[in-house]
Amino acid sequence: EAQVTQNPRYLITVTGKKLTVTCSQNMNHEYMSWYRQDPGLGLRQIYYSMNVEVTDKGDVPEGYKVSRKEKRNFPLILESPSPNQTSLYFCASTSGTGALWKQYFGPGTRLTVT
Amino acid sequence: DAKTTQPPSMDCAEGRAANLPCNHSTISGNEYVYWYRQIHSQGPQYIIHGLKNNETNEMASLIITEDRKSSTLILPHATLRDTAVYYCIVRASGSARQLTFGSGTQLTVLP
């Protein structure tokens, strides 16, 4: 089954303790991205990657890092999490161009930083 | 990408058709209309998209007006599981940007 998976689904951590949220897709998509969703602010893009070893900042990249060493994986790294990074995070991958373009989302990771 | 306007909320009776409107009056010729939905904190789910012709798939139908300034998503027989936030998004073909989500329409299907 074609899908985007994220782990963990839920995470509670403390300020400053480095964490990684993994994202994997089995559709051989080149383009992947990370979003965060906060009440009243909708989904905002954090980082995106157009291919292996190619990453770029989205709208809200501060406090986050990403890497794209292989096509299927796109982990999100919080080197020193802070309470304002408490949010619901979604990974997405994109297929096709033109009329065939579609974006597929993972199930989400709910992160709480205390 | 053109902005979209959707009503913040709608109700629909179970088994009836749900018609969700979207206004995109500044849409350009190369911009597609996408519909996604998000069921309570789950990942957004693709529903349908179109350029200028009406489209239908197993989930829904998309009706785009001739001038392309508005569209309607139709869920032909709404069920309780269709209760979700529905997002209408306009995106230019070939754009490097991904989807920009607005606030959407909260559809509540009533038993």
Q: What is the pLDDT of residue A77?
A: 98
- What's the rounded mean pLDDT across residues B7-11? 97
- Who wins on pLDDT, A77 or B96? A77
Asked if the bond preceding A8 is cis, omega within 30° of 0, the reply is yes
Given phi > 0 = left and psi -120 to 50 = alpha, else beta, which region is A84? alpha
CA-based nearest residue to B35, from A37, A30, A103: A103
Q: What is the pLDDT of residue A34?
A: 96
CB B73 within 8 A of CB B89: no
CA dihedral sign of residues A76, B99, A55, A30: positive
Does B92 have pLDDT greater than 80? yes
Strands (E), chain B: 9-13, 18-23, 31-38, 45-50, 55-56, 61-64, 70-75, 84-92, 105-110
Q: How far is CA B103 from CA A16, A98, B51, B56, in A?
A: 32, 25, 22, 24
The answer, for B46 touching chain A at a CB cutoff of 8 Å, is yes
CA-based nearest residue to B49, from B28, B32, B68, B66: B32
Residue of B98, B103, B105 to mutate for A, most A C-beta atoms under 10 A: B98
Q: What is the pLDDT of residue A95?
A: 85
Q: What is the pLDDT of residue B100?
A: 80
**pLDDT tens, position by position, A39-84:** 888 889 999 998 999 999 999 999 999 999 999 999 999 999 999 9
Does B45 have pLDDT greater than 80? yes
Among the partner-chain residues B43, B46, B51, the one whose CB lies closest to the CB of A107 is B43
**pLDDT tens, position by position, B48-90:** 999 998 999 999 999 999 999 999 999 999 999 999 999 999 9
Percentage of residues in chain B with pLDDT exceeding 90? 79
CB B105 within 8 A of CB B20: yes
CB A3 within 8 A of CB A23: no
Mean pLDDT of chain A: 94
The answer, for A34 touching chain B at a CB cutoff of 8 Å, is no
Does A97 have pLDDT greater than 80? no
Nearest residue of A to residue B96 by CA position?
A50
Q: What is the pLDDT of residue B96?
A: 64
Instruction: Categorize the per-residue pLDDT at B1 as very low, low, confident or very high, splitting at 50, 70 and 90.
Output: low
- What's the rounded mean pLDDT across residues A19-30? 96
Rg (CA), chain B: 13
- A69-73: long-range contacts (C-beta < 8 A, 24 or more apart)? A71/A28, A71/A29, A71/A30, A72/A24, A72/A25, A72/A26, A72/A28, A73/A22, A73/A23, A73/A24
The answer, for B98 touching chain A at a CB cutoff of 8 Å, is yes
- CB contact (8 A) between residue B43 and residue A108: yes
**pLDDT tens, position by position, B15-25:** 999 999 999 99
How far is it, in rounded angstroms, from Cα A34 to Cα A47? 5
- What's the rounded mean pLDDT across residues B98-109? 89
